[in-house]
Amino acid sequence: MSVRHFLSLLDFSSDELRSLIARASELKQLHYRRETPQRFSGYVLGMIFEKSSTRTRVSFEAGMQQLGGHAMFLSPQDTQLGRGEPLEDSARVISSMVDIIMIRTFGHDILERFASYSRVPVINALSDSFHPCQLLADMQTFSEHRGSISGHSVAWIGDGNNMCQSYINAARQFDFELRIACPTGFEPDPDLVAANRDRVAVMQDPAEAARDCSLVVTDVYASMGQEREQEQRLQLFAGYQVNAELMSRARGDALYMHCLPAHRGEEISSELMDNPDTVIWEEAENRLHAQKALLEFLLQRQA
């Protein structure tokens, strides 16, 4: 059987993604009842982090443990990866010793190269281009609160970054309309937009993007690796804040999401972050459940 990887949402079919989200909600209930099946005793997840993380590390490590397995944190500082051992050699060696690997890195090509030399599944835990694990949690959260997202309109406000590009893939896979509002020069990859032009529109005006939509999503102005642009981006992104005024353009029951970490008062208002009704904390928690469903899906094919 060929090895399946999860480098973007396009690696799975729409049906597979929908069943995975349904399984994530089941695993959530099983976890609350302390009944998670420990089917993967003796299995090891290798976790390679070339960028910082709170949610991704904690959710993968806790999730693997809850499934009965073990997770191993590997940072470039402490491995030969950081001393220039070729990626291809590292992929061959690491994948001969563990059962599944997740990688958080910079260029998406790094993931693709690693995956092509890995004999076990490789999961994208964030690259400069995509963050598909976050989308699993976001889609789970929407579905738990509002049912199927199919046919709804979603607004992306801010940078055309890895999260925005993952929403473009999600629009295709989960069948929704996506309106992206970003400042000129910060649009997502034009080829990706062109390939999805039947359901994705790019504009400058956040109010136009948010109009009558069911979900409003944002993310930081400067992603990891862009820290030096933070001050300049603060000015260029003025007006691209998700706040009560913007939410008043959306449907009355619209949800808003943020993958976190958030900068209160920049891309999202403190008022929305601290609103007791926000689903943002559940969105973060759902990383645990959605990724357990993902690990289960990929590991059972290896079993």
Query: Which residue number has the CB closest to ligand NVA?
Result: 223
Cα(164)–Cα(186) distance, integer angstroms: 11
Q: Tell me, yes or no, if 152 is annotated catalytic.
A: no
Which x/- pattern over 202-221 shows residues binding ligand NVA (rule: CB under 6 A)? Answer: -----------------xx-
Find which of ligand CP, ligand NVA, none residue 152 binds, CB within 5 to 8 Å per kind: none
Contact predicate 59/65, CB 8 Å:
no
* Residue 161 binds to ligand NVA (criterion: CB under 6 A): yes
Q: Tell me, yes or no, if 259 is annotated catalytic.
A: yes
45: β partners:
71, 100
Q: Is the peptide bond before 261 cis (omega within 30 degrees of 0)?
A: yes
Contact predicate 101/298, CB 8 Å:
no
215-224 CB burial, b ≥16 within 10 A, e <16: bbbbbbbbbb
Give 71 or 202: the residue with its C-beta nearer to ligand CP.
Answer: 71
Contact predicate 260/122, CB 8 Å:
no
Q: Among 134, 140, 165, 241, which one carries the catalytic annotation?
A: 134
Give 64 or 220: the residue with its C-beta nearer to ligand NVA.
Answer: 220
Which residue of 260, 263, 278, 282 would you call a contact of ligand CP, by CB under 6 A? 260
Give just the sign of the alpha carbon dihedral 53, 274, 129, 151.
positive
* Residue 30 binds to ligand CP (criterion: CB under 6 A): no
Q: Which stretch binds ligand CP (CB under 6 A): 54-62, 164-172, 185-193, 273-281?
A: 54-62
Which x/- pattern over 213-252 shows residues binding ligand CP (rule: CB under 6 A)? Answer: ----------------------------------------
| Nearest approach, Cβ of residue 125 and ligand CP (Å) | 8
Take residue 32 and report the two structure tokens written for it: 């609350």
Q: Which stretch binds ligand NVA (CB under 6 A): 90-98, 159-167, 230-238, 264-272?
A: 159-167
Which residue of 13, 38, 54, 79 would you call a contact of ligand CP, by CB under 6 A? 54
Which residue of 71, 259, 268, 293 would you call a contact of ligand NVA, by CB under 6 A? 259
Q: Among 164, 182, 213, 259, which one carries the catalytic annotation?
A: 259
User: How would you class 240 by CB atoms within 10 Å of its CB: exposed for 0-12, middle for 13-18, buried for 19 or more?
Assistant: buried
Find which of ligand NVA, ligand CP, none residue 54 binds, CB within 5 to 8 Å per kind: ligand CP
Give 207 or 260: the residue with its C-beta nearer to ligand CP.
Answer: 260
3-class secondary structure, 82: helix
User: How would you class 125 by CB atoms within 10 Å of its CB: exposed for 0-12, middle for 13-18, buried for 19 or more?
Assistant: buried
Question: How far are the Cα atoms of 26, 82, 125, 275 from residue 33, in angstroms, in the given order?
Answer: 11, 41, 28, 28
* Residues at the interface with ligand CP (CB under 6 A): 53-56, 126, 134, 259-260
